Amino acid sequence: MAAALVWQFFQANSLLLRTLDLSTGVGIGLAAMTLLLVNTSLVSLAIHLANGTPLREVWRKNFGWLTVSYFLLSALALLLARAYETPLLGGWGGWTVLFFLIPLYYSRFYWDEKVRLEQAFDATLEVLMHAFEAKEPETRLHSERVADIARDLARALYKDEAKAQDIYRAARLHDIGKIAIPEPLLLKPGNLTPAEYGLIQSHTTKGAELLSPARKVAFDPLVYNVLLYHHERWDGRGYPRGLAGHEIPEEARIVGLADAYEAMTAPRPYREAKTPEEALREIQELSGHQFDPRLVEAFTELWKENPIWRDRQAYLAAKEGSVSASTSSPHSSDSASPSPWEPGSRTSEG
Ligand SMILES: [Fe+2]
């Protein structure tokens, strides 16, 4: 209704730029924007009232992307309106509009199919994640906590919720390559031979190989970067490629830091869990060695806000019901964490 009024206004009042009549172009553009704003602002308001997220944030996240498509589609709306005014058959413009709508219907149909395919792919990933985490509750706790830390870090760095969610998903999968490592080796207590270390370390490349069939179809390179490079170190002494500094994709640096903090605060059969304060101190000491100094700064700021993931016990209690408290036992498996197998004692958890 409001959009129609805008359109009618510009039809009734011509907007001239010298000899050029802009009323049709400006009218259809503004009518499209009016339609978008009226539709989306009411829905945004409802979401804002329901969960308290700032109105601008709700609109930007959910509908911001629509602005361009509404604007571009306004030209199509004009075309259809003109088609309606130009009957090609039976003296009724509706036939002309229908003629134009056939290809539009097909493109919409194929778009829907594309979205469905992406949803199916996301669901497949979810299944993969569950299959990996179903091995033992500790694995799930580890990857959920790593993912929560990584998501908070990404939010703080990028102020981009979609990217933070992508990093969360990648972090949940970061150790998926361990599926390809023999179980007895993952559970082996005590020292490992160099060959065994090598095999454990191959979980990075094996993870990327595992998901490679999907790479060309639909997979964000971000996920591969996390799987492959989350054990690289800022000083270049990590694996699998020994990348250093900014050569390491940032998403992998984020997950690597989150992974190390989670591992440090988890108990091991050969040592007690570090307290959150001890773990933070160690992360800070390793700034510029194992970790990106900028990330350590952002991490420290987040840590001070006392997020739920800061204290492992509190995190465990919050997850109670889905993960048994017994999983924090010092005798629980180490397979959730990469650290005990690191050749250097400080490769991942310090
Ligand atoms: Fe790992």
Q: Per-residue pLDDT for 279 more than 90?
A: yes
Give 40-63 pLDDT, tens digit per residue.
888 888 888 887 778 888 888 788
342 Cα–ligand 1 center, Å: 10
- Mean pLDDT to the nearest integer, 238-246: 96
300 Cα–ligand 1 center, Å: 22
Q: Per-residue pLDDT for 18 more than 80?
A: no
171 Cα–ligand 1 center, Å: 10
Give the Cα-Cα-Cα angle 137, 227, 272 (nearest 5 degrees).
45
**% residues pLDDT > 90 (the chain):** 37
22 Cα–ligand 1 center, Å: 60
For the ranges 96-110, 152-166, 279-293, 313-327, the one whose mean pLDDT is highest: 279-293
- Lowest-pLDDT choice from 62-71, 174-183, 192-201, 277-286: 62-71
In sequence order, the β-bridge partners of residue 17 are: 20
282 Cα–ligand 1 center, Å: 19
267 Cα–ligand 1 center, Å: 17
Complete DSSP assignment for 206-264: HHHHHHGGGHHHH--HHHHHHHHHTT--TTS--SSS---GGGS-HHHHHHHHHHHHHHH
- The backbone torsions φ and ψ at residue 291, rounded to the nearest 5 degrees and listed phi first, read -115, 155
Residue 234 class from Cβ within 10 Å (0-12 exposed, 13-18 middle, 19+ buried)? buried
pLDDT, mean over the chain: 84
Q: Per-residue pLDDT for 349 more than 70?
A: no
Residue 61 vs residue 314, higher pLDDT: 314
pLDDT in the model for residue 321 = 57
SS3 of residue 10 by DSSP: helix
43 Cα–ligand 1 center, Å: 42
Is the Cβ–Cβ distance between 218 and 117 less than 8 Å?
Answer: yes
For the ranges 25-39, 91-105, 267-281, 283-297, the one whose mean pLDDT is highest: 283-297
Is the Cβ–Cβ distance between 198 and 177 less than 8 Å?
Answer: no
pLDDT in the model for residue 67 = 84
193 Cα–ligand 1 center, Å: 18
CA distance 90 to 96: 10
227 Cα–ligand 1 center, Å: 8
Residue-level length of the chain: 350
Instruction: Say which CATH topology domain 137-341 has.
Output: Hypothetical protein af1432 (1.10.3210)
Domain residue ranges of the chain, discontinuous segments joined by +? 2-85, 137-341
